[in-house]
Amino acid sequence: MPKIALTEIPKDNSMSATFEIVTPMFIGDANQQATAIRPTAIKGALRFWWRAMNGHLSTSELAKEEGRLFGSTDGAGVFSLSVTSNNTFQAHTDWPPKDANNSSSYMGYGLTGDQQNKHRNYIPAGIHFDVSLTFDPKAGTSDKALIQKALEAFGLFGSLGSRARRGFGSVQLINLNGNNFINITQPQIKQWLKYNLHSTLKKQDQIAFTAFSADSLS
């Protein structure tokens, strides 16, 4: 098991990660059908976690650097991304139950449907999916390191889909560039936080966007 704070950056222009869905993921297409995980959803999550780790930047600096790395209306970012899975995404509609006294139903209010709306379907826990990144040849090692940190953060703390902030759609990083992360420990996660959030945690004034703070480690 490598030290996650010191994971080597690939020397070539590719990067790969495998994730496992830990809690039911309510994600879908325009018709709310949970049949796939779109690359745009993963890229959006990476943007979020990259911002969270860069609270030391001003909002103007953040916007400029985010556009450079991930792309904006002014041009493409430094990498492209694809999502694949050996599992078949079969939508389920049996959870959470339509029971007002059930804690999962309470946390997922609105997912169980009513007389006008059908029960939202979901991708069940246990499904694995792979994320592959291809970097522009001009991307530097520092660019790759920033994106890899976002991948690690997503795999340690992230989730996708509806009610993601209530614990639904949580994911776990299984493998990153051939390194196994399935047995990562709490001390290793704390080490990762300290190593990767040093600049952000030094900034004491109020941050104008969602980001880690000194309270994250308390």
Q: Is residue 1 included in any domain, yes or no?
A: no
Confidence label for 210 from pLDDT (cuts 50, 70 and 90): low
Q: Return the amino acid letter for 191.
A: Q
pLDDT tens for each residue of 120-177? 687 888 999 999 999 999 999 999 999 999 999 999 999 998 776 777 889 999 999 9
Note whether residue 6 is domain-resident.
Answer: no
> What is the helix, strand, coil percentage profile of the chain, to 5?
35, 20, 50
**Beta-carbon-side half-sphere exposure of residue 78 (alpha carbons within 13 Å):** 21
Report which listed range, 34-43, 129-138, 152-161, 178-187, is most confident. 129-138
- For residue 25, is it within any domain? yes
CATH number at residue 148: 3.30.70.1900
Helix 59-70 / helix 141-157 crossing angle, nearest 10 deg: 100
- Is residue 89 over pLDDT 80? no
Angle at 183 between CA 180 and CA 188, to 5 degrees: 95
Over pLDDT 90: what percentage of the chain? 37
Strands 79-84 and 128-135 come out as antiparallel
0.85 exceeded by the pTM?
Answer: no
Q: Give the span between the Cα atoms of 153 and 193, in whole angstroms.
A: 9
Q: Using CA atoms in the order 120, 107, 128, 175, what is the torsion angle rounded to 10 degrees?
A: 150
Render pLDDT for 46-63 as a digit per residue (tens, 0 to 9).
999 998 888 788 889 999
Q: What is the mean pLDDT of residues 83-91?
A: 75
Looking at residue 4, what is its pLDDT?
A: 47
pLDDT at 3: 44
The range of the structural domain enclosing residue 208 comes to 13-217
Contact call for residues 15 and 8 (beta carbons, < 8 A): no
- How far CA 165 is from CA of 152, 158, 173, in Å, comes to 18, 9, 18
CA distance 146 to 51: 11
Residue 184 has, within 13 A of its CA and on its CB side, a CA count of 25
User: Is the pLDDT confidence value at 209 over 70?
Assistant: no
Residues with Cβ within 8 Å of residue 163, at least 6 apart in sequence: 26, 107, 108, 111, 169
Residue 93 has what pLDDT? 61
> Reduced to 3 states, what is the DSSP secondary structure of residue 12?
coil
Is 86 within the bounds of a domain? yes
Q: Is the pLDDT of residue 28 over 70?
A: yes
Q: Is residue 111 part of a domain?
A: yes
Total count of domains within the chain: 1
Dihedral sign, Cα of residue 109, residue 111, residue 113, residue 119 = negative
**Rounded distance, CA 125 to CA 120, Å?**
15
Better pLDDT: 125 or 94:
125
